[in-house]
Amino acid sequence: MVDSFLKYLEFEKRYSQHTVSSYQTDLEQFQAYLTNTYQIDNLSSADYNHIRSWIIALVENEIQPRSINRKLACLKSYYKFLMKRGIIEKNPALRIKTPKVKKRLPVFVEEPKMETLLGKENPEPFFSDGFKGIRDRIILELLYGTGLRLSELINLKNSDFNFYDNTIKVKGKGNKERIVPIHKELKEWITVYNKSKADTFISIDTDHFIVSDKGEKAYPMLVQRIVKEKLNLVSTSEKKSPHVLRHSFATHLLNNGADLNAIKELLGHSSLAATQVYTHNSLEK
């Protein structure tokens, strides 16, 4: 039933491949615990006490509360799935309490540092003039200028850009689409990038906007490496990732007086609660 559950998550619930893989790992870990501790070989045979025992073991092994909560969410979802299929009568994970998670403020790069890295008057050669340099720059310009997630950036297609309205159609979590505006400077860099891409590659098989050095669809490690390398030039923060640029985008908008609901829509958050965390970062507010 685990395979059926994972297909249900991917094709009906439209979870990301990353989430599906994480849930698969969680179920495999719980199955291993059941087998080793209770000699139970079927997940559907687990009860409240078995699940509670596993959660306690995770806590004692100093697994982070966020990870434990995800594993518990996975089990609740899996047993709900089994109930719908008539395999079990009640969900044994429902009454398990989740560990409290300390609220972490989003890490962001200060506005002057981003201006140093991407500003027009920048005297430092942070980006080369060739295709790779322009590609690296457009990656940071898009992440910081629109607040896209890493997966959203990688999956952007050329057809998602509307230069008449100066907008991008973004497919976010759960395949929910949203429209994100692009500012004048970003539009100019997109034009420069498209020309450089056309000049560099005679033909490209992919319709994806961001491509690798070989003209293929970009992959997560490539983008993560580029972002880390460039942020290292201006930031001493320990975290340097595409998501840090998303946090920077939201924080700087709020600092400059943007409406919280507008930021929520731009980020593709399903609830305002997820966006409100940025108010703690906003010095002006």
Give the tens place of pLDDT for each residue, 220-257.
Answer: 999 999 999 999 999 988 899 999 999 999 999 999 98
pLDDT band at 285 (very low <50, low <70, confident <90, very high): very low
Inter-residue contact 233 to 214 (CB < 8 Å): no
d(CA 275, CA 267): 8
Active site residues: 149, 173, 243, 246, 269, 278
Three-state SS at 278: helix
pLDDT grade for 2, boundaries at 50, 70 and 90: very high
pLDDT score, position 207: 94
Element at 181 (helix H, strand E):
strand 177-181
